[in-house]
Amino acid sequence: MKIKIFRFSGYPVNPDNKQKLLVERRHAWDRIKEKCGKDMLRMQKLGDRVERYLGKQYPTVEDIEFANTVDKVKEMYEEYGNIMMTTNAETGEVVYCILDAQESAYV
């Protein structure tokens, strides 16, 4: 059975992609600022496009196999760190949340 997993921080599930995302985001925003100058409306529109593109390149939600044994749960803890199992408030679907708030993309 597949179950969705995401990071509380908003970063990609795959930890290798976090640094790639940060580098690409910084480079893109530097170019946007250079191109738009003080035109904040244009900057916001281009920024939204960049964020949508990066969201597709570095997914923040993935499907993984449900951990139905103690050994699989231990493997998940070793790979991701602290994990919480919860439900999606809108759908009732069971999901895993990687608790990495100290690394939040939004703080």
15-71 confidence digits (pLDDT tens) = 888 889 999 999 999 999 999 999 999 999 999 999 999 999 998 899 998 988 999
Under 8 Å between Cβ of 85 and 73: no
pTM for the model stands at: 0.71
If you average pLDDT over each of 4-8, 15-19, 103-107, which comes out highest? 4-8
Write out the residue range of the structural domain in which residue 66 sits.
2-103
If one counts the domains in the chain, the total is 1
Q: Which has the closest alpha carbon to 44: 53, 32, 56, 26?
A: 32
* Burial call 67-97: b when 16+ CB within 10 Å, e when fewer: beeeeeeeebeeebeebeeeeeeeeeeeebb
